[in-house]
Amino acid sequence: MPELPEVEQLVVGVRAAASGATFVDVTFFREDIREPLDKRGISDVILDQKITQVTRRGKYMLIHTKRGALGIHLGMSGRFIVDDCSRVSRLHTHVVFSIQQKTGELKYLHFVDPRRFGRVFPATKHEAESLSHTYLKNLGVEPLELGSNLWKHLFDQSRKRSTAIKTFLMDSSVLVGVGNIYASESLWRAKISPLRLAKDIDASEMKRLAKEIIKTLSEAIAAGGTTFRDYRNSDDKPGSNQDKLAVYERDTKPCKRCKAPIEKAVQAGRSTYFCAFCQN
């Protein structure tokens, strides 16, 4: 569900509310989310601990304390809402964290996830700092951190990959943060067909693609993320980037560049949207 821009938005919101605050309580309402909640481990890492920083790695948010970090992944339908109220007013609220801000004010972090594909987990200090936790250790590069070197990384990693370029972009061991929406959007902007094999993309095409990935993600962050269905930021508000999408869920509608009808294909079990006329 949320891809890099959405998680980045979330991190900014949680950082604003939680930096310097202290975890004072946690209540678990449901333990059997994707991985059974490690209540003991979570409590050990956060309770009575001050929040030192809030960071993002790929689609994971990490809320750090002196003892380690609380890891959050929203899966497809998760929300993480900063609320003034502890009352569980939303269906599928699985965990509520109570924090006390520096001002003494209490805030409540609600983890809500209907489909339960998300994750809430503890990481030790070492696992959090060296990113060696099981969920973090195999993640590929951060597109926005690599900048102008991104194309070279993608180029090198793809030389022997006979999978489609779109599927390759969504491989989190290569590159993090690009999911189903932004993979389609970046390829449209770069005028590259999602159906082509990764190894067949030449250097100049990969430069174009890398540049468009960075632009696509950055613009989506600036627009507050993309809300198709479930995504909400930490204030429980939708983003506005869905209004700017060129191809995602626009099949049969005219291409914004050449007016040919946008097509839909299925790759690795996921829908891909593209213009067969101007993406080559």
Q: Which residues are near DNA by CB under 7 A?
A: 1-3, 6, 32, 34, 58-59, 73, 75-77, 91-92, 114-117, 135, 138, 160-164, 167, 170, 172, 179-181, 198, 225-231, 268-271
Cα-Cα-Cα-Cα dihedral sign, residues 37, 112, 170, 144: negative
Q: Are 222 and 213 in contact (CB under 8 A)?
A: no
Instruction: Give the shortest CB-97-to-DNA separation in angstroms.
Output: 21
Choose between 49 and 241: whose C-beta lies nearer to DNA.
241
Choose between 58 and 68: whose C-beta lies nearer to DNA.
58
Cα-Cα-Cα-Cα dihedral sign, residues 92, 94, 100, 102: negative
Instruction: Give the shortest CB-160-to-DNA separation in angstroms.
Output: 5
- What number of other Cβ atoms are within 10 A of residue 70's Cβ? 28
Instruction: Give the shortest CB-163-to-DNA separation in angstroms.
Output: 4
Instruction: Give the shortest CB-25-to-DNA separation in angstroms.
Output: 26
- What is the residue whose two structure tokens read 């507050």? 224
Residues forming the active site: 2-3, 59, 270
Choose between 89 and 162: whose C-beta lies nearer to DNA.
162
CA distance 274 to 6: 22
Strand ranges in the chain using DSSP code E only, listed in sequence order: 22-28, 53-57, 60-65, 68-73, 79-83, 93-100, 106-112, 119-124, 263-267, 270-274
